[in-house]
Chain A
């Protein structure tokens, strides 16, 4: 049968083509997609285990930034031992923003927790719990090595409706008692569980971020 079933001129076809709704993307979707593709493009590199003593996969800009960071963190270190919640949260938000600015959200870009978790072996001195929440609407998109309060920490990156969440996790007690705060428009949620302390940073609204924290705590 040839292409011309001649349904095109049919009244029904015309009715459907003229009357049915044609949906379009909302205003935020395109920029959200572009942001995520930029991250993909930036983090596409051979995933080799890093030789000891080198930060894996950072560009020259990243290395320069890391040196600058190391200096400022070394200074921070002396104060950092007794860091207040405020200083910690400032550092966490700075890290989140910087990761977005240099399009370096993930070192390992994978939605598979069985890829992300072992990637941290040899890079941090603990094994971060990595949970997959894609079924609940918070897909894991990768992991990143970060440096908070004078130590290498694991950052796990999740996405929710176009917003990115940086989940920092490291062993130890929580700093201060404050659970939720907001700075520079970013929400920070902190809690402790199973000997690990967690901090979730995102521009996602605090209600959905709260759901994220609850899902992780289960």
Chain B
């Protein structure tokens, strides 16, 4: 049917972006996927309300609302945050033939973990704008619509989040000088 085809064409391509946002908000991968499934179902029911060919901001708005509702219901604390066990300290075994030296690969992985931890340490509302801006490449106007706040608030929230990230990552970098 036409509706399913349009939905397939416009909304389903953003599945990975939806999972990315959900996982950054709720941490647990199974919970994130369940919430994304709920969000897609809701998106399909309200598909008539999409008035643009770019469904990504609209869909992510539904995803974030689904996630924050879940977080409120679980009364999760914004800080301290429990790390996803999959983001634990132990490094995965490197594959062969990476094209870079094992030492360089370890450095890369360690850096990835530090960046992930720094983002995770942010309160959900700050983490959200970082993910939407830096990882999902959305404009301030789009983020404002998704989170339902004024553009000025997007900027100040982002500014504050970046200040905290900079502090966390600078601390990491200044202690890691025996590398």
Residues of A within 8 A of B34 (CB): 137, 161
Nearest CB to that of A5 among chain B residues?
B155
A8-16, A124-132, A180-188: which lies at the B interface? A8-16
Residues of B within 8 A of A7 (CB): 133, 158, 162
Report if A29-B19 is in contact (Cβ < 8 Å); known contacts: A7-B162, A38-B4. Answer: yes
A81 within 8 A of B: no
Q: Contact check, B162 vs A22: say whether CB atoms are below 8 A apart.
A: no
A3 within 8 A of B: yes
A10 to B134, CA, bound (A): 11
In the assembled complex, how far is the CB of residue B5 from the closest CB belonging to chain A, in whole angstroms? 10
B32 within 8 A of A: yes
Within residues 119 to 176 of chain B, which ones have a CB less than 8 A from any CB in chain A?
119, 130, 133-135, 139-140, 152, 155, 158-159, 162, 165-166, 169
Nearest CB to that of A38 among chain B residues?
B4
> Within the complex, which residue of A3, A12, A26, A30 is in contact with B166, where a contact is CB–CB below 8 Å?
A12
In the assembled complex, how far is the CB of residue A41 from the closest CB belonging to chain B, in whole angstroms? 5
Q: Contact check, B139 vs A3: say whether CB atoms are below 8 A apart.
A: yes
Q: Contact check, A23 vs B119: say whether CB atoms are below 8 A apart.
A: no
Report if A19-B12 is in contact (Cβ < 8 Å); known contacts: A29-B36, A37-B44. Answer: no
Q: Contact check, A26 vs B29: say whether CB atoms are below 8 A apart.
A: yes
A79 to B66, CA, bound (A): 50
A212 to B17, CA, bound (A): 31
Q: Contact check, A22 vs B115: say whether CB atoms are below 8 A apart.
A: no
In the assembled complex, how far is the CB of residue A33 from the closest CB belonging to chain B, in whole angstroms? 5
A157 to B139, CA, bound (A): 41
Residues of B within 8 A of A193 (CB): none
A36 to B12, CA, bound (A): 13
Q: Contact check, A23 vs B37: say whether CB atoms are below 8 A apart.
A: no
Q: Contact check, A37 vs B23: say whether CB atoms are below 8 A apart.
A: no
**Extra contacts besides A15-B169, A24-B20, A41-B4 (19): CB < 8 Å:** A16-B119, A16-B134, A16-B165, A17-B134, A19-B111, A20-B112, A21-B112, A21-B116, A22-B20, A23-B20, A26-B33, A29-B15, A32-B37, A37-B4, A41-B1, A41-B44, A139-B38, A161-B30, A162-B33
Q: Report A's interface with B, CB cutoff 8 A.
A: 1, 3, 5, 7, 10, 12-13, 15-17, 19-26, 29-30, 32-34, 36-38, 40-41, 135, 137, 139, 161-162
9 contacts between A and B (CB under 8 A): A3-B140, A15-B169, A16-B115, A23-B16, A23-B23, A23-B24, A25-B18, A37-B4, A38-B4
